[in-house]
Structure 1
Amino acid sequence: MAEELGLTLYRFSISWPRLLPTGYPNVISEDGKNYYSNLIDGLLEKGIQPLVTIYHFDLPQSLQDLGGWANPLIVDWYVAYARVVFSLYADRVKLWLTLNEPFGICDAGYSMHHAPYLNNTDFGRFMCNKNVMLAHAKAWRIYDEEYKPLYHGKVSLSTLFIWYEPATPEDQELTDLVIQHWEGRYVHPIFSKEGGWPPAIEKFLLEDGQKKGFPHSRLPAFTDEEKELVRGTYDFYGLNHYSSRLVRKVKPGEEAPSWPYYGSPELGVVFENHPDWKEAALNWFALYPEGLLHQLRWLKQTYGVEEILITENGYMDSYKGTDDWERLGYIRDNLEQVQLALQEGINVTGYTHWTIMDNFEWTSGYTVNFGLYAVDFSDPNRTRTPRESAKYYSQVTRARALLPKPQNNA
């Protein structure tokens, strides 16, 4: 499929328990090791560069039983795993992501129905937040010091960024705070010049904790040494973007919906869609391609990011067929925003669509689809059939240009 699409870059993830069945580096699965080695070799033989994500949500159960990402020891466990991955594949893989969507690991994992399905909003997500920052930084430094001099690759992490706009001009200050609460906690420690937590969020969470009777902030502090450890641990910015939302202050007597997709009780805000934005399969997924350009501008202006790789962008629907004109239009409209960003001097060096074929989504299972290829899950062979979006995508990759949206003759 990757070859049919004309891809020159293919992103996939390595499963921690598939490679290390016990979670620890003393037992390496030969089958797991060989599977990924063969996949990498197969891609390279076709002239396709692998972009490898070291961790994408699948924590070994043995480590989750010990507290998972809320346990400070997870940093050492993850670094040991990452070292194994680098030792096996760094000679052939030149692009790496240490973690996929740390926001999903922490804020979604400890605040909503997302693995590990723990409702520990007060502390769990913030403990996890600090630990993923340290784990990423230590893995990045291992590669930078031990493998980059030999193989000259690049390492970063991918972050999920929903673009937020104020519902009214009066909501602008709250919107800025939402962006720092959602994205800044996972970006500022790495990409800012000073390091550490975003000052506005650090101040807010301290005051919010005091109001709730906690003796200190729920956000664990970085030591000066930890700030320096984390700061600057990137070679590019990995961006996952799908949708945008409006932010408004709660009305008198109104209760803010749950964090993170519908609002924030602690910030006293509601997230909603603009009336002109069409909704996809889930109501938080609104179509507003301009949000991608706004987001790219924000990254350049706020942190001076010099290279951005779009590591996820895709359209969600529940349609099982192949005439997916909405997805095709979504791809075309978002690529147009990338083109505009390039014209403004924003250095977007790549784009990877989510996803090549229908997949299992962590909170929706097989009820929604993202694939360029439709998968028949009732067929033992899991037959893959290219959708209209796949045909368009392959034309774009081969032309290396933004092409007009083909006419729907259906």
Structure 2
Amino acid sequence: MSQEDSFLYDSFPDGFLWGVGTSAFQIEGGTKDGGRGASIWDTFCLKSSNIIDKSNGDVTCDSYHKYEEDIKLVKELGVNFYRFSISWSRVIPDATGSGEVNPVGVQYYNNLIDGLLAVGIMPVATLYHMDLPQCIDDEGGFLNESLLIDTFTKYADVCFKEFGDRVKYWITFNEPKIIVTLSYGNGYFPPGIKSPFEGVYQAAHNLLKAHASAWHLYDTSYRNTQNGKCFISLNSAFFIPKDPNCPEDVETTELAHQFTTGWFAHPIFIDGDYPPIMKTKIGELSKKEGREKSRLPVFTEEEKRFIKGTSDFLGFNFYTSTLVSAPDNDMPPDIQYDVNILAKYTVDPSWKQMSLFFLNIVPHGLRGMMNWINKEYNSVPVFLTETGFSNSTGTTDDPDRVQFFKSYINELLKAVKLDGCNVIAFTAWTLLDNFEWVFGYTCKFGLASVDFESEEKRRTPKKSFYYYSKLIKNNGFTDISE
């Protein structure tokens, strides 16, 4: 029996952290309460055809008013930490104008943070989780380099100053690849810009600089007194060569990893610059397109030094895997973010899928991803910031989600105990069924269901909630009857 097929009964190392996560726009609601400004998602939802069920995030789980109920759930779950995101628009409603801090918004997060600490839960705060203030987007958003860096750094400064005495773990950006590809590459997310050849790379370039600016601010002005950590959270599928004995498939698979994880991790953890293969590949294609210079922006030597080393951990979101094969000779360019990879993506027919068609359930992919990261980035500490399962119903009887967490976390245990991967934390996504971006309320990731039809938005723990709670209590799999 292979190690992938066998179940490992063992516990995680002492000090391993267990958590659960949410994001502001997906659960808070209260979009017009307490002086909050508009975000790009508020605007995007105004056109009902943008959301599959024509819904919006105006109320969702109403955590803006019911955060105390969320804290009770988190306490009952038994996690070490709660990962939440701060709404930039709630803290600084007019980021490009007055820039004034909204005391009501600050108070909301103070209440949440203090409530968590009161029951022994460590707050982990994400500064940016998809919800750019509309006023910044009106002036170019992530394509406006100086504006993005300036406003994000000022926003980070406010958060560090207001909350950093109690928040010891800060995430700058959640899923940069998703931010730039879905918002500026294929236009599926707001602001809906389709620029797969240029805009997507410029947005990523500016995001990396904004991230580095916020990290340096924390490092120079707050670390000594607040003693916290500041890091970025990336995401990727695990890419598997369709034919591991085919050199072209293996080479294309590595290319896929470098164009996803490497796009952001290589500058931060290696040398301040993009992966060499990425620069070469885009440079060659740019020349074929008749361009005088590469579509991939260039960092100055000073910028490389500024970006290198700007993450205390590698935050990582992981859900799925895909098979990769080399492109056919006559394969047309796929006008998406990976237009330069020209890889063929397929799935193993034996893999089950979640309710979101692009998420395949491949437990051993998590182990593979952790090993790839461990080797590529010199055993960098990995803080898993999201892993979760989607289905189409909010029923509390969710054996598929239980099996998902059982199998994925066991493969993570193998990565840690058998392979020596340096993983320090696991975050289940997510606490509550919520607004799932363009999919609205049609898919559910929550460990607890929410009755969206009721005025009180009643929360009810699912079987997966109690299963995950047991895993946390045991710090792994110590019960042979599992």
Q: Taking structure 2 as the reference length, what is the TM-score of the superposition?
A: 0.81
Please list every run of 5 or more consecutive structure 2 residues that lacks an aligned counterpart in the other structure. 1-72
Cα separation, 2, equivalents of 1:402 and 1:202: 44
Aligned partners of 1:7 and 1:48 also within 8 Å: yes
Aligned partners of 2:272 and 2:303 also within 8 Å: no
**Equivalent of residue 465 in structure 2, options 367, 387, 390:** 390
- Does structure 1 residue 183 correspond to structure 2 residue 183? no
Deviations 1:351-376 (A, max 9, x none): 11110111111221111110000111
Give the C-alpha shift of residue 401 in structure 1: 2.3
Give the C-alpha shift of residue 213 in structure 1: 1.8
Look up the SS of the partner of 1:350 in the other structure: strand
Give the C-alpha shift of residue 268 in structure 1: 2.1
Amino acid at match of 1:5: L
Deviations 1:16-35 (A, max 9, x none): 10110012473111110000
Look up the SS of the partner of 1:165 in the other structure: strand
Look up the SS of the partner of 1:164 in the other structure: strand
Deviations 1:361-409 (A, max 9, x none): 12211111100001111112111111110010111112222266988xx
Counterpart for residue 83 of structure 2 = 11
Cα separation, 2, equivalents of 1:253 and 1:146: 54
Give the C-alpha shift of residue 44 in structure 1: 0.5
**Equivalent of residue 195 in structure 2, options 102, 105, 120:** 120
**Equivalent of residue 219 in structure 1, options 285, 296, 303:** 296
Look up the SS of the partner of 2:428 in the other structure: coil
Q: Which moved more, 1:221-230 or 1:338-347?
A: 338-347
- Does structure 1 residue 362 correspond to structure 2 residue 362? no
Look up the SS of the partner of 1:352 in the other structure: strand
Deviations 1:317-366 (A, max 9, x none): 11221111111111111111121122122221111111011111122111
Indicate how the Cα distance of structure 1 residues 320 and 406 shifts in structure 2: closer, same or farther if over 3 A, else same.
farther
Counterpart for residue 142 of structure 2 = 69
Cα separation, 2, equivalents of 1:18 and 1:245: 38
Map residues 73-112 of structure 1 onto 2, 5 A cutoff: 73=146, 74-112=148-186
Cα separation, 1, equivalents of 2:479 and 2:386: 22
Look up the SS of the partner of 1:59 in the other structure: coil
Cα separation, 1, equivalents of 2:177 and 2:378: 22
Give the C-alpha shift of residue 257 in structure 1: 4.9
Cα separation, 2, equivalents of 1:404 and 1:212: 60
Please list every run of 5 or more consecutive structure 1 residues that lacks an aligned counterpart in the other structure. none
Amino acid at match of 2:291: F
Cα separation, 2, equivalents of 1:369 and 1:323: 13
Amino acid at match of 1:154: K
Cα separation, 2, equivalents of 1:214 and 1:13: 40
Aligned partners of 1:245 and 1:284 also within 8 Å: no
Look up the SS of the partner of 1:188 in the other structure: helix
Cα separation, 2, equivalents of 1:212 and 1:161: 28
Aligned partners of 1:332 and 1:405 also within 8 Å: no
Q: Which moved more, 1:269-278 or 1:292-301?
A: 269-278
Cα separation, 2, equivalents of 1:145 and 1:406: 50
Across the aligned residues of Structure 1 and Structure 2, the Cα RMSD in angstroms comes to: 1.6
Cα separation, 2, equivalents of 1:258 and 1:291: 27
Which one scores higher on RCO, CA 8 angstroms, separation ≥ 6? 2
Counterpart for residue 210 of structure 1 = 287
Aligned partners of 1:236 and 1:305 also within 8 Å: no
**Equivalent of residue 57 in structure 1, options 107, 123, 130:** 130
